[in-house]
């Protein structure tokens, strides 16, 4: 019984040791590498386990690269994986570039991948150019007519400028700027409608792909639509603004005239009050003249007769068409 228990315990120990050994030493990958004529040592695979690098993520891309004729080492792939890169995608990009006869060293491919760009897609775009469709760009010609233009830009990835080069938004913005400049310099919108290829030639000649990760192959105008008459709308708005300014100035002048009129009325009333005040002083002056002997009684009666004669003449001059006095003098 003790022998059976001892044998079972020994068997368990052996199974545990074999499982631990197979965990740290991936024999299947080592055999696959030997079958593919790829030199990968056992201790190298164990070191990957200790560095927490999945051996399959290194060995399988290494076998793929070796079969495609790409010269890469285990240390390069492991270092790229530890840096956070996608080893499998980098190897696929190298193979695609090798088949298309595009010079792409491993160091540049790894740098592109670590920069956050899809290196495989970049290589594919170098072989098969991509068409970028711009949004509708609104531009106004010199005659004030708005044109709405949509363009298609055919670009090819520039491998040498993928690291640090601008992306698609920059291409779209530069093409839109070129379209606005070209249309804005045209004397009439009909010139643009007659020769839309002039926009492509002008924009393409500006070197819009400078500093970008792409090489512009062609710029094609997909659609041109006539929009609003911006010039007429601006003139209308300006005329309306001038009209409001003129109305405001006229209202200001009217208010000043009304204020001046009120001032003159007040001044007239003030003068009339002074006249009434002066007239009220006349009887006092006459009484003082009589007391002082400066005015005789006959002089006083002559003055009264003159006043009565004057009132009669004024009444006659104010007579109406019916011969009646409008304001007859009072009977004394």
Span 274-307, pLDDT tens digits: 888 887 887 777 777 777 777 676 777 777 788 7
Confidence of residue 8 (pLDDT cuts 50, 70, 90): low
- The distance of Cα 207 from the centroid of its chain, to the nearest Å, equals 23
Average pLDDT for 117-146 = 83
Of 7-11, 21-25, 225-229, 326-330, highest mean pLDDT: 225-229
Give the position of tokens 């002083």. 281
CA distance 187 to 32: 72
Percentage of the chain lying above the pLDDT 90 cut? 0
Confidence of residue 4 (pLDDT cuts 50, 70, 90): low
Structure tokens at 144: 């004030």
CA distance 167 to 157: 10
CA distance 199 to 175: 10
Confidence of residue 156 (pLDDT cuts 50, 70, 90): confident
pLDDT of residue 332: 46
How many other C-beta atoms lie within 10 A of the C-beta of residue 157? 26
pLDDT of residue 329: 53
Burial 137-154 (b: 16+ CB within 10 A, else e): bbbbbeebbbbebebbbe
Average pLDDT for 199-208 = 77
pLDDT of residue 331: 47
Please spell the DSSP secondary structure of 66-115, one letter per residue: HHTT----HHHHHHHHHTT--HHHHHHHHHHHHHTT----HHHHHHHHHT
* pLDDT tens figures, 314-331: 888 877 545 555 555 554
CA distance 85 to 83: 6
- Parallel, antiparallel or unpaired: strands 137-140 and 130-133: unpaired
CA distance 54 to 75: 14
pLDDT of residue 233: 75
Confidence of residue 90 (pLDDT cuts 50, 70, 90): confident
pLDDT of residue 47: 74
pLDDT of residue 189: 78
Kindly tell me if the per-residue pLDDT of 179 is higher than 80. yes
Kindly tell me if the per-residue pLDDT of 154 is higher than 70. yes
* Contact between 56 and 34 (Cβ < 8 Å): no
* pLDDT tens figures, 213-259: 788 888 888 788 887 777 777 778 788 888 889 889 898 888 899 89
CA distance 195 to 173: 23
Structure tokens at 327: 């304001």
* pLDDT tens figures, 206-226: 777 777 878 888 888 878 888
Please spell the DSSP secondary structure of 196-265, one letter per residue: THHHHHHHHTT-TTTTBSEEEEEEEEEEEEEEEEHHHHHHHHHHHHHHHHHHHHHHHHHHHHHHHHHHHH
């Amino acid at each position: 019984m003790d022998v059976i228990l001892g044998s079972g315990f020994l068997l368990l120990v052996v199974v545990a040791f074999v499982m631990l050994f197979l965990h740290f030493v991936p024999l299947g990958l080592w055999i696959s590498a030997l079958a593919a004529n790829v030199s990968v040592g056992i201790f190298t695979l164990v070191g990957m386990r200790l560095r927490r690098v999945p051996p399959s993520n290194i060995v399988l891309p290494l076998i793929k690269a070796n079969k495609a004729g790409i010269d890469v080492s285990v240390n390069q792939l492991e270092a790229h994986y530890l840096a956070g890169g996608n080893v499998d995608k980098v190897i696929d990009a190298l193979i695609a570039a090798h088949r298309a006869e595009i010079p792409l060293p491993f160091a540049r491919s790894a740098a592109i991948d670590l920069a956050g760009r899809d290196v495989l897609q970049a290589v594919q775009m170098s072989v098969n150019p991509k068409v970028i469709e711009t949004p509708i760009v609104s531009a106004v010609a010199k005659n004030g007519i708005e044109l709405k233009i949509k363009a298609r830009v055919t670009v090819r990835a520039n491998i040498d400028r993928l690291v640090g080069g601008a992306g698609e938004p920059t291409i779209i913005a530069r093409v839109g700027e070129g379209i606005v400049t070209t249309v804005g310099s045209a004397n009439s919108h009909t010139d643009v409608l007659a020769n839309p290829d002039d926009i492509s030639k002008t924009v393409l000649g500006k070197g819009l792909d400078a500093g970008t990760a792409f090489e512009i192959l062609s710029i094609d105008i997909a659609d041109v639509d006539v929009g609003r008459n911006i010039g007429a709308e601006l003139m209308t708005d300006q005329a309306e603004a001038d009209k409001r300014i003129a109305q405001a100035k006229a209202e200001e002048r009217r208010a000043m005239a009304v204020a001046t009129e009120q001032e003159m009325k007040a001044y007239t009333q003030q003068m009339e009050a002074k006249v009434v005040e002066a007239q009220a002083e006349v009887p006092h002056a006459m009484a003082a003249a009589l007391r002082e002997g400066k005015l005789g009684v006959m002089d006083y009666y002559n003055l009264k007769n003159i006043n009565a004669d004057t009132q009669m003449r004024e009444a006659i001059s104010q007579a109406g068409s019916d011969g009646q006095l409008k304001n007859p003098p009072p009977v004394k």
